[in-house]
Chain A
Amino acid sequence: MSDPTSRPVPFRGGGFAHRPVKGAAVFVFLFLLLAWEWGTRTGVISNIALPAPSEVVTALSDLIETGMLWKHWSTSMWRLLGGWTSGTMAGIAVGVIIGLWSLPRSGLYPLVSALFPIPKIALLPLFVVWFGIGEGSKLATIAFGTFFPTVIATIGGVDAVDRNLIRMAQAFNIPYTRIVRDVILPGAMPAILSGMRISASIAMVLLVAAEMIGAEFGVGAYILMAGALFAIDQLIAGVVILSVTGLSVAWVIGQVEKRLLAWRS
């Protein structure tokens, strides 16, 4: 063992592996807030351009006290839920139909592919003409915007279902509708859920855009109004509400995924 030429094999496998660092995110968040507060108080940051976080908090608590937070937020949530639900449900249905049958696939897939890349905000004025300045145009924009990504995700999910599983089901004489229900839909579910994640964030964007045209209430309308009045503290309060709402929506979808996709690990 005392061979002078013997030496350990150099270790080369390190790096490229992540480990969670506790508290790092909280630290960054607090640091930015404190720096921001300090900057505005000392005048490094102009109070006109950016009010202090404490002023934003005041604006938020005003919103809560007057009950306007609930008014704006609930109005927005109804639009978001209504538009997103109808858009994704229709999207899943059409996606499954295109995924399953040759005729709809040949006939509709090119159409969907052509409409998918249009930024739906561009259609907002058109929807205002079609569905009126009220709720109709807002719901239609969100529904239309979430419909296409859902269709594309669902088709992908249906296509990705293992053909061997379908052949297995056929070999056991399982009827067509049951194969769709018990094999194809659950197999497409991971793709459908990740499509929902994407369509939920698209819905948020479209919600705010739609509320900037002819809306009295809603977080988007609130932000627009605050901007028009140069009330930057209220404007940022509105952005905070949107951020928290977006995080909550993502969390809810995460919980649904956890439940529905427990089989994946």
Chain B
Amino acid sequence: MQLALEAVSHQYGQLEVLSNVDLQVMEGEIVCVVGPSGCGKSTLLRLAGGLEQPSQGDVLLKGESAPGVLNPLTYVFQDFALLPWRTVSENIELVLDHHQLTQSEKSDIVADVLLRTNLSDFKGAWPRQLSGGMRQRVGIARALAVRPEIWLMDEPLSALDSQTRELLMDDLVELWTRTPFSALYVTHNLAEATRLGHKIVLLTGRPGCVRSVTNIDIPLNERAASGAALEDIRQDIWEQMREQAARADREMRHV
């Protein structure tokens, strides 16, 4: 299945946050959206997942849904959004409870996703007992549980320290290598974007519109070793962003 944003514009009252954005996420492709703060990245993601409706334009799903998909468009949140009063496995069960599944099917799914995210030993832990990295692993496990077709990732690693971020990037690359998934990945971190993105979409400052699209052909699992080539791409995108980022930094907040 593919996700397409066609000529999407969005306003909050007088404030235009997105202007005429065209964007496509193809099957098995990770599209990273980068841009200065306040360029409407998070709004874009909310529009993509149906949590908000665009003022103009269309957000479309194309193609047949694969069987067994419980929640085609699934978010991974920056602040993890785990229920603090539920243990790790209960947090995952939360998103399965309203589906027509038997108790044993549910337990199988929970056990499977915990295994894939190396969390099996932590299934009874409270979220407060886990480090930020582990909490986001729970977030990823929860997303895996509903077998999404397209992942919507809202700065999933931004709340983590840089070492943990490296570890989780490795985890994501490994997950993708085993079973490729499609993702719309919003971040302000160019290192993340060049490490995980097949396509990097650069948005300009407010109102956000697509400034450039960069394709990276290096396979995800070879990127850790190909630092120099990625560094060039990073530099190139940063040069395009620089002026906008400086302007965004000086801007007063309106929200």
Which A residues are closer than 8 A to B by beta carbons? 162, 164-165, 167-175, 178, 182-183, 186-187, 189, 261, 263-265
Contacts and interface: CB of A to CB of B under 8 A. Distances in A.
Interface stretch (B75-83, B115-123, B209-217, B230-238): B75-83
Interface in B72-110: 73-75, 77, 79, 81, 83-86, 94-95, 97-98
B13 to A, nearest CB: 19
Contact of B85 (A169, A171, A174, A186): A186
A173 B98 contact: yes
B94 A164 contact: no
Contact of A186 (B83, B97, B127): B83
B49 A171 contact: yes
Contacts, number: 52
Query: Chain B, interface size: which category?
Result: 20 to 34
A181 B181 CA distance: 32
A168 B84 contact: no
B20 interface: no
Nearest to A186: B85
Given A164-B81, A263-B128, 18 more contacts: A168-B81, A169-B94, A170-B51, A171-B73, A172-B71, A172-B74, A172-B146, A174-B98, A175-B98, A178-B97, A178-B98, A182-B83, A183-B83, A186-B83, A189-B85, A261-B85, A263-B85, A264-B128
Among B71, B84, B85, B127, the most chain A Cβ lie within 10 Å of the Cβ of B85
A174 B95 contact: yes
A186 B87 CA distance: 13
Contact of B97 (A162, A165, A182): A182
Nearest to B72: A173
A173 B49 CA distance: 11
B81 A165 contact: yes
A173 B51 contact: no
